A and B are shown apart, each in its own frame.
Chain A
Amino acid sequence: MNDMTPIARTTTLKDWETDQEVRWCPGCGDYAILKAVQRTLPELGADPANTVFVSGIGCSSRFPYYVESYGFHTIHGRAPAFATGIKLANPQLDVWLVTGDGDGMSIGGNHTMHLLRRNLDCQILLFNNEIYGLTKGQASPTSRVGTTSPSTPMGSVDRPASPCAFALGSGARFVARGFDVSKNLPEVLKAAYYHKGAAFIEIFQNCIVYNKDVFDDFAAPKGADGRQLWLRDGEPMLFGSEKSGGTRGIALDAEKLTLKVVEVIDGDWQAAGVIVHDVKNRSVAHMLVELPFGPFPMALGVIYDDPRPTFEAAVHEQNAQASAGKTANLAALLAKGQTWTVGGTAQDPI
């Protein structure tokens, strides 16, 4: 599936820092994500000269200015289209796309969908803070019903979109979740990088000014193990511990064709019917991204990872096929079709 040859580290975290002052609000979750990325890139053996960070507009989209690589801060919602042009023009480049819930799910939802269905090889980091931060706190397409904001003073009435369900529905072949301060985020980033094709990661990110601690119900350290389901390929879907009310697991409710939470007694998860995570199981992935938080823990980590041929490879293959055995003779091209000659300097029609 993925190339797991040992990586030669040629850079350190410092090499990925720019001389630009970071301008996010103090305490913003974006700092943690930036550090996680800068820490992960050396471990991937990435080359700054061969790396491009592309972003749209919003707090998250300032990201490229702080990474010492090539960076293109584009226009609102359109980063996927720029990334497509970049990757088609030069498939050798490592392309990272940084977007947010407003940029990627609202104004740019259409582009996100098409990039995923085409399967362009890139990593998409969607910072989901469930709010429009840079425009001072309006409700976003992922805000929960009832979110009060300057544009929804009586509470929002529109139902939120689920980025991971959207991604799967759009045909994504890699879907993962993490959150800003999670120690597991680098592991998720690595898996996304190793996935050849469009790798979609929803990263819950704490906007401490306009939507403070909105993810605390599952992200707060205290009792976290009972509210976070970290998915790992080939391992049973277990969460919780004695401290957080007992070990539990996810099992299939065969009658209703849904997932259910089961108690695991004495560690015997098999007896409890807990299922083993298979990153290639698309049906289960659909169920995992739709699990309602509360009755269920938050599904995190690599939910789905099953590569398919990439868009840029298909385009280049077709370009090569169409060009095979042909020469680019401009003079011949101009004189193509039915031609005629006038006067004494007749040339032979080509």
Chain B
Amino acid sequence: MATAFADDPAARQARPADDSSPEAVVVRFAGDSGDGMQLTGGQFTLSTALAGNDLATFPDFPAEIRAPQGTLFGVSAFQINFGSTDIETAGDAPDVLVAMNPAALATNVDALKPGGLIIADSGEFTRRNLDKAKYAASPLDDGSLAKWQVMAFDIGALTLESVKPFGLGNKEALRCKNMWTLGLALWMFDRDRAPLIAWLKAKFAKNPVLADANVAALNAGHAYGETAELAGPLKQYHIAPVDSAPGLYRTVTGAEAVSLGLVAGAQLAGLPMFFGGYPITPASAILHHLVRLKEYGITTFQAEDEIAAICAAIGASYAGQLGVTSSSGPGIALKGEAMGLAIMTELPLVIVNSQRGGPSTGLPTKTEQSDLYQAIYGRNGDAPLPVVAARSPADAFECAIEACRIATQFMTPVMLLTDGYIANAAEPWKVPDVSTFKPFPVCFLEEKNGGDGELLPFARDEKLARPWIKPGTPGLMHRIGGIEKNPGTGNIDYSPTAHQTMTDLRKAKIDGVARSTPPQEVTLGETSGKLAVVGWGSTFGPIHQAVRRMRRKGFDVSHIHVRHIWPLPENLGALLKSYENILVPEMNTGQFKTVLRDQFLVDAKPLTKTSGQPFTIAEIEAAIGAFFDRIPGNEGGEVDADTTQLPSIKAVNP
């Protein structure tokens, strides 16, 4: 998020709002997966950020790369929530829907707020396309859209007209439709076109005609809004810039933030980084980012499978680099045995898990938080490893650094949890000041460390971490492996005392990580009271907004958001026990709730949602309300799939 949360929400609320301008607007772009909606959304996001608004986005696309044109399941959508206040979610219901064809309208219109604006490309409302979207009659004509405001014009024809001078073929010319639409959106929200024009010129540098055509379409869309004498709802909004902390800002997606955090973490540790990956949605973006950063001492390796990716990373760590691997649920499952080896040999390693809906292949492009058990417990044997969870795209940067710190300081694999939502979503990010980062340089053992000239690869420092010994170091030859070992020499030792001692040491070392992490803070509210809403990961936005709104209404509710999932912060148990009730909203069937119950014997109530959609603020508000409604027994429970949210139910299951 762009600003700190410590400031008083009431004061922020009291700021007078311009009557004609809303504080925040939610726009959803929807079209065929070939229409370039993600690109349109991405560029609108950028111009929104440049205008100084806070924002959150939700890109949603089908698992199919190019679904058949015009079909309900081929609809790709991009939602952005932006405004002059802090934005923490992609918004519950859109104010504006841009529908590039009947299928996009059909799958998304129910989500639109009553009275909201539909901008539709009437040129696409042909009989054929209406049939594909299962409309008997055109909704633009039959009055079925009466509760919304509709602006329909033939975007295709207008685009063709605007790019006529460039002599493109019909197909190529129509590809500029998304830029025309973007131009109109930029006019509506009073956005500067210049950065977009610069971006188009750079993108099509090798084909200036295409660049000029796209710029012309963009300008034409903008001019259409500006000059066309349009009766009705099309009007210009000005969204004032958000009241952000001063500094330099950029937009960042979770995948970018993780990549940058890993680069920073490796630098702070003073190590080259080795990244082993295998293509998997939604984690591949991290490999794609890092492969372009070789000058930062990064070697990337696209392995033959998930197992080889982690094993190569462990091999690199063994040889003295910072090994990193990344995947999503199914790939993480494959890596489990190798994680056990990294735990057993006590080598540093960062494992990034961009969670998606499971089990098995599950929902490859949708979000879920259901790998928490897998992260904490998912290995054979007593195999503890630290788990850190990012709450937003920007937060993923700090979390990645934290994972690198723990891995190298404690000689352990660390899992960093993000999810499909965090990985793909963008938000403004205040570029951090590098000079404020605290380095955590590693040192390698150079000489024998035993009393009488003996080498003890499994001797321990005050943190219980063993020394890191690089092959190639003269005189320190030794053998390590996955077999139980002698607590000092590391030689094979199956003896009862060796296994008991080593099991205890491995556990104590990871438990001790909690001493190096900050105590749990209350994100919003009091340190005791009637209700604490406890979250982790990407549920941050909706929980925070819901708690803020309920507090404004006078309810005694606080928000606690946990970054260090394992080991848990040392003060968390006492903190939780100071509240009468605990509610844990999660996009799974209640995994963190169970961990909290197990660790602290507290009566944590679950609020679960497993529809592949993030929570809406309203859903969490309602769940908070249940603790104050004096109706016993209705606290917590399961939230149903939301028909108005992305991903659209109709698009997924026409």
Quick check: is B313 within 8 A (CB to CB) of the other chain?
yes
* Chain A, interface SS category: mixed
Minimum CB–CB distance for B89 against chain A, Å: 22
Quick check: is A70 within 8 A (CB to CB) of the other chain?
yes
Tell me if A86 and B319 are in contact (CB < 8 A): yes
User: With contacts A18-B479, A85-B313, A315-B299 known, is A75 near B338, CB below 8 A?
Assistant: yes
User: With contacts A81-B308, A90-B471 known, is A73 near B483, CB below 8 A?
Assistant: yes
Minimum CB–CB distance for A317 against chain B, Å: 11
Quick check: is B106 within 8 A (CB to CB) of the other chain?
no
Tell me if B476 and A88 are in contact (CB < 8 A): no
Tell me if B246 and A88 are in contact (CB < 8 A): no
Minimum CB–CB distance for A119 against chain B, Å: 14
Which stretch, B247-255, B507-515, B532-540, B560-568, touches the partner chain A? B247-255
User: With contacts A85-B313, A89-B316, A326-B295 known, is A50 near B244, CB below 8 A?
Assistant: no
Tell me if A322 and B295 are in contact (CB < 8 A): yes
Tell me if B482 and A73 are in contact (CB < 8 A): yes
> Interface size of B by Cβ–Cβ distance < 8 Å?
72
Quick check: is A343 within 8 A (CB to CB) of the other chain?
yes
Which stretch, A29-37, A243-251, A290-298, A333-341, touches the partner chain B? A333-341
Minimum CB–CB distance for A164 against chain B, Å: 21
Quick check: is B117 within 8 A (CB to CB) of the other chain?
no
Tell me if A349 and B248 are in contact (CB < 8 A): yes
Instruction: List A contacts of B492 (CB < 8 A).
Output: 20, 65
Minimum CB–CB distance for A328 against chain B, Å: 5
Minimum CB–CB distance for A97 against chain B, Å: 11
Tell me if B244 and A342 are in contact (CB < 8 A): yes
Instruction: List A contacts of B308 (CB < 8 A).
Output: 78, 80-81, 84, 110-111, 114
Instruction: List A contacts of B295 (CB < 8 A).
Output: 322-323, 326-328
A27-52 CB mask vs B (1 if < 8 Å, else 0) is 00000000000000000000011101
User: With contacts A81-B311, A81-B312, A334-B260 known, is A89 near B473, CB below 8 A?
Assistant: no
A57 to B477, CA, bound (A): 21
Quick check: is B569 within 8 A (CB to CB) of the other chain?
no
Which stretch, B44-52, B79-87, B219-227, B351-359, touches the partner chain A? B44-52
Tell me if B246 and A343 are in contact (CB < 8 A): yes
A61-82 CB mask vs B (1 if < 8 Å, else 0) is 0001100111111110010111
A338 to B198, CA, bound (A): 10
User: With contacts A49-B473, A89-B320, A114-B308 known, is A322 near B301, CB below 8 A?
Assistant: no
Minimum CB distance partner of B429 in chain A: A334
Instruction: List A contacts of B248 (CB < 8 A).
Output: 335, 339-341, 346-347, 349
Instruction: List B contacts of A80 (CB < 8 A).
Output: 308
A50 to B308, CA, bound (A): 24
Within 8 A of B (CB), among A122-138: none
Instruction: List A contacts of B345 (CB < 8 A).
Output: 72
Quick check: is B297 within 8 A (CB to CB) of the other chain?
yes
Minimum CB–CB distance for A312 against chain B, Å: 10
Quick check: is B481 within 8 A (CB to CB) of the other chain?
yes
Quick check: is A283 within 8 A (CB to CB) of the other chain?
no
A137 to B150, CA, bound (A): 75
Tell me if A342 and B341 are in contact (CB < 8 A): no
Tell me if A340 and B52 are in contact (CB < 8 A): yes
> Interface size of A by Cβ–Cβ distance < 8 Å?
61
Within 8 A of A (CB), among B325-367: 337-338, 340-341, 345
Tell me if B301 and A52 are in contact (CB < 8 A): no
Instruction: List A contacts of B245 (CB < 8 A).
Output: 342-343
Tell me if A89 and B299 are in contact (CB < 8 A): yes
Minimum CB distance partner of A319 in chain B: B294
A185 to B319, CA, bound (A): 29
Quick check: is A344 within 8 A (CB to CB) of the other chain?
yes
User: With contacts A338-B50, A341-B247, A342-B249 known, is A89 near B480, CB below 8 A?
Assistant: no
Quick check: is B377 within 8 A (CB to CB) of the other chain?
no
Quick check: is B204 within 8 A (CB to CB) of the other chain?
no
Instruction: List A contacts of B341 (CB < 8 A).
Output: 74-75
Minimum CB–CB distance for A24 against chain B, Å: 13
B213-251 CB mask vs A (1 if < 8 Å, else 0) is 000000000000000000000000000010011111111
Residues of chain B touching chain A, judged by Cβ–Cβ distance below 8 Å, are: 46, 49-50, 52, 195, 199, 241, 244-251, 260, 263-264, 267, 272, 274, 276, 292-297, 299, 301, 303-305, 307-309, 311-321, 323, 337-338, 340-341, 345, 431-432, 434, 470-483, 491-492
Ordered by A's residue number, 10 sampled pairs between the chains whose C-beta atoms are within 8 Å are A71-B477, A73-B479, A73-B481, A75-B340, A86-B315, A88-B299, A110-B305, A322-B292, A327-B295, A333-B260
Given contacts A70-B471, A78-B307, 19 further A-B contacts (CB under 8 A): A49-B477, A65-B479, A71-B479, A73-B480, A73-B482, A82-B314, A84-B315, A86-B319, A89-B319, A90-B472, A319-B294, A323-B295, A328-B297, A331-B434, A338-B49, A338-B251, A340-B248, A342-B247, A346-B248
